[in-house]
Structure 1
Amino acid sequence: MKILVPVKRVVDYNVKIRVKPDGSGVELANVKMSMNPFDEIAIEEALRLKEAGKATEVIAVSIGPVKTDETIRTALAMGADRGIWVKTDEAGIEPLTVAKILRKIVEAEGPGLVILGKQAIDDDANQTGQMLSALLGWPQATFASKVVVGEGKIDVTREIDGGLQTLELALPAVLTTDLRLNEPRYASLPNIMKAKKKPIEEKSAADLGIDLSPRLEVLSTLEPAGRTAGKKVGSVAELVGDLKQAGVI
């Protein structure tokens, strides 16, 4: 069974985000980039399934402009077997477009399982996995915290408000990972060197017949307002009066 794992290049989670002076977006020039943390968990789970003999090949897929291949190389250094890079002129492709691209790749590769991070830390959309499942007509399980692959099926434990829920899905299926699923491994130096020789197949959206034109328009990007200073109140009546004045109650 092949496992397909989409990975995204995002601003490193340790970097403080800065908005461009003209409000047209987030400053990406000379900013440290890395693999989306949830995607690292997805890669790790795919590798564990391969090591357990449940999968034969792990394929890392990424969509983006120049240097996106660095993120694929990171996945290859962790242990993925090969990569697919769908080259675009710009980053920030909308989730539905990403799902359409992934559907084409799934149709070409024929994996038995697609594992995605539940969301990307740049847009926090949490949409691509669900959209891909709908486009493929495959069963899905989101926010997976435990995965057990059986014969032609997969049991997925996911966290919900009331506790834990376990789903049994027929393969092929789509999963999205939660933080508690595993702890991603570090790439060793020998594996980093080996990753340089692993193949990355390059494609374009035009090759796949996908239109990248955005359907949403970002009007402006603003930094969150700073917190105002608090105050002490002398009584419950004063507290209630201040909350009413602030529109809280």
Structure 2
Amino acid sequence: MTLLSVNVNKIAVLRNSRGGSEPDVVRAARTCLAAGAHGITVHPRPDQRHIRPDDVRALAQLTRMQGVELNVEGNPFAPPRAGYPGFLALCDEVRPAQATLVPDGDGQITSDHGFDFARDGERLRPLVAGLKAMGCRVSLFVDAGCEGLEQAAQLGADRIEIYTGPFAEAAARGEPAGALERCIGTARQARALGLGVNAGHDLSQDNLGRFLAAVPDVLEVSIGHALIGEALYAGLEATVRRYLDLLDAAAASRD
């Protein structure tokens, strides 16, 4: 069955827009876990636009207590700066179950592309090794249909995360077939290389069922923006449970 990791970045965006401590990121994460979510995802950025290092530390404590996984995403190439110790240093401190490496920069509103392995592969190699030495499962953010997936396996990564933004955009236009085919091809190639497959970005209640029905062997989806937006209308607990129903339905359809 595909697992759901809820990304709580948007809770921090709302908190940071006003200052103070409300809404409480840890309380929101606790609510998601109480509703049945399998884990929590965060993406601390050097600019501290949303999730901050102290949030990561608090969520690491929560997920350890709850016996669920914390997935920390981030750009391993971004240097430390005031208030941000660097991605590997933060992972070394909190030891997440999974570290997802993403090539995003300060100028990006959100992650919008995967790694170029021809350019970044050798730079990634020692970073992947360092994270694995910390006991982290390592996932690399990739575009559907990307070249060089063999190198991701050679670098020692455990999984890839397929960037699903283009699929979500195509599905919203009513023409998802081409984007789905690229996701299917990348998932199959990854599995043949011994890599696990995660997926994330702009997955929602509207498109998740279609995605999982088509793309084989997805181990985990991390969903934040759509889920938090939907929760404004239906409530956080009810929305998480609706996503879990979709995952259950997808699993049943494959049995």
Structure ranking higher on relative contact order (CA contacts 8 Å, 6+ apart): 1
| Higher strand proportion (structure 1 or 2) | 1
Same-fold call, TM cutoff 0.5: no
TM-score (norm 2): 0.30
In our comparison, the structure showing a higher alpha carbon Rg is 1
Instruction: Give the TM-score taking structure 1 as reference length.
Output: 0.31
